[in-house]
Structure 1
Amino acid sequence: MVVQQHRSKGGARAVCALAVVGVMAATAGCSAGGGGDRAVADERGGTDSLDAVRRAAAVLAGTVSGTGSAAVAGTAPDSGAGTVAGTAEVRTSMETAAGGTRVTIRGRGTYDFRTRTGRLTVVLPKDAAGEDEHRPITELLAPGALYMKNRGAGVPADKWVRVDTTALEDGNLVTGGVTDPMAAAELLCGARQVTYEGKTELAGVAVRHYRGTADIGLAAREAAPGSRGVLAAAAKGFSKHTVPFDAYLDEQGRLRKVRHRFSFANEGPAVEVVSTTLLFGFGVPVSVRLPDGPDIYTGRIRQR
């Protein structure tokens, strides 16, 4: 598989290339206040809706309690009311269209919102890499870094590739074919307009559905210090700084599902990337061991 370096000017060309080939700290949460950037909550939700959405990342990290019962440590994963978040199982999908072909990249794994580390297996669709089959890509997520194994592009199969996510034009919101789960949550720190769409059910769990737009630059300023570099990079690299979203929170204020619609229009027609993150199994054990120096590939990556 050939992966184009994510250094081209503008987002559209990079995202199209990613679609074709298939691969598109410790504390967290929005800071208090919000400065002079006033957000707007629709009358259907009011300020409570805006606050619930903006605090979603902090609830996941366990730095604040949600809207329901106080979090209780030591309970079984996803055992119901009172289960502390902190960690979760994750499913992701990233969908885009390029050249008339719609491509969906899927991932699954676990994530620790307290340390912003996770391990995901990313599956490319057939022909997305220019071949019928491709081995799943293993991705390790860490503050400011993305590690990929089975990446292709001339990288030996037993080696990892390390990417500095603060240097990516999109801050790793789409580059790896997966939006970092904490980055997905912390984008909601930049919510400016929120409407409450009502209650629904998601995988048997009662959730509240919120819809709105988030400002990437505001999210970068409001996010925890360990997350600001990645979001600040995205704020500079995207042609459109507002991101429409749909967020689903359970009775404890935990984010269960979030869908972002990223748009790139710097060169040629606009390209839309829809990224969805599903969270469940809260409290699951998560263990992530980052590669040692000798296991990281430092050679040339083949260009497309």
Structure 2
Amino acid sequence: MVARQHRRGGAAFAAMAVAGVVATAGGCAGGDGGGGAPADERPGREADVVRKAADVLLAAGSSKASTSMEMAAGGTRVTIRGEGGYDFGRRMGKLRVVLPEDPSGADEHRPITELLSPDALYMKNRGAGVPDDKWVRIDSTALDDGNLVTGGVTDPLTAAELLRTATDVTFVAEQDLAGTRVRHYRGVADIVRAGRQASPYARAALTSAAKGFAKAAVPFDAYLDDAGRLRKVRHRFSYVNQGRTVEVASTTLLYAFGEPVTVTLPPSGDIYEGEIGT
């Protein structure tokens, strides 16, 4: 496949980092303290606690992040993993993303550097024909999945923004997550409503995402600490690619809150404008 950036038709680029991997294939947490309001444990308030997750992350400032994205299609299951950090105030992150090994025995994929920003995804070491010193820039609002799965990573703050639409929320249990006490909640988010209810910076991407998923309902498991900060969230998406439904489970772990995260977007001269192959 060859894709061209800067086109909505180029949303087929989603197949490059995620669905393309499926096609070729056939927790950390700290005990650090921090701000945020304590979770409200009064009966019937579970949904309110979960819906506030994005606001509490914004107040936390920044954190380290670990991600995993599991996909299943045609009996094949693959996992993409990422490590890095996220600046919630600037709504920007930097992650090192590792693609799964190619079962055909081909050379191992190089790790991809991904820069997340409110309106675009930047990737280095992704796509045949892209020079080693160049970046690929993808307009998040031009992707049919709103960049929830395209890069193999769900933007951590966007993942929390989805929780603003949480319904049918139930408290599961208190448990230990790598040494931190967390409360486990389970419920369902709605991509369509998220496009209307999310913070302004996330609405365009989430509105676009509503067009690329087989179901608007997104089941989730969310784990919040005593300060109400989202420590772990797992969403289960049903994504449509080339007429097939791909089941995607995206998990994000957040820890080391308040640790500085530096993200510098590449200058325009470092952005590749040519054709990109898988």
Which TM-score tier does this pair reach, normalised by the shorter chain?
0.7 to 0.9
The answer on whether the counterparts of 2:63 and 2:86 sit within 8 Å (CA) in structure 1 is yes
Aligned to 1:32: none
The answer on whether the counterparts of 1:208 and 1:250 sit within 8 Å (CA) in structure 2 is yes
Q: Distance in 1 between matches of 2:113 and 2:15?
A: 25
Aligned to 1:55: 52
Report the residue type matching 1:250 in the other structure: D
Aligned to 1:181: 156
Matched, 1:219 2:194: yes
Matched ranges for 1:44-193 at <5 A:
46-62=43-59, 85-127=60-102, 131-193=106-168
Distance 1:136 1:200, change over 3 A: same
Q: Distance in 1 between matches of 2:104 and 2:207?
A: 30
Q: Distance in 1 between matches of 2:252 and 2:120?
A: 19
The answer on whether the counterparts of 1:159 and 1:297 sit within 8 Å (CA) in structure 2 is yes
Report the residue type matching 1:90 in the other structure: A
Query: Aligned-pair distance for 1:145?
Result: 0.4
Distance 1:157 1:21, change over 3 A: farther
Residues matched between the structures, number? 259
Q: What SS does structure 1 have at the residue aligned with 2:82? A: strand
Q: Normalized per residue, which structure has more strand?
A: 2
CA deviations 1:9-28 (Å, max 9, x no partner) are 99x97863343358xxxxxx
TM-score (norm 2): 0.85
Matched, 1:280 2:262: no
Structure 2 unaligned runs (5+)? 26-40
Query: Aligned-pair distance for 1:219?
Result: 1.6
Report the residue type matching 1:194 in the other structure: V
Q: Distance in 2 between matches of 1:293 and 1:9?
A: 21
Report the residue type matching 1:217 in the other structure: V
Aligned to 2:23: 20
Alignment RMSD: 2.6
Q: Distance in 1 between matches of 2:231 and 2:177?
A: 8
Aligned to 1:257: 232
Query: Aligned-pair distance for 1:101?
Result: 2.4
Q: Distance in 2 between matches of 1:9 and 1:143?
A: 17
Query: Aligned-pair distance for 1:198?
Result: 1.6
TM-score (norm 1): 0.78
Structure 1 unaligned runs (5+)? 23-43, 63-84
The answer on whether the counterparts of 2:73 and 2:245 sit within 8 Å (CA) in structure 1 is no
The answer on whether the counterparts of 1:199 and 1:207 sit within 8 Å (CA) in structure 2 is yes
The answer on whether the counterparts of 2:11 and 2:143 sit within 8 Å (CA) in structure 1 is no
Distance 1:137 1:249, change over 3 A: same
Aligned to 2:35: none
Query: Aligned-pair distance for 1:223?
Result: 1.1
Q: Distance in 2 between matches of 1:224 and 1:9?
A: 23
Which 10-residue stretch deviates more, 197-206 or 232-241? 232-241
CA deviations 1:95-135 (Å, max 9, x no partner) are 01234321110000000111110100001111179723121
Query: Aligned-pair distance for 1:270?
Result: 3.5
Q: What SS does structure 1 have at the residue aligned with 2:107? A: coil
Aligned to 2:30: none
Aligned to 2:213: 238
Aligned to 1:70: none
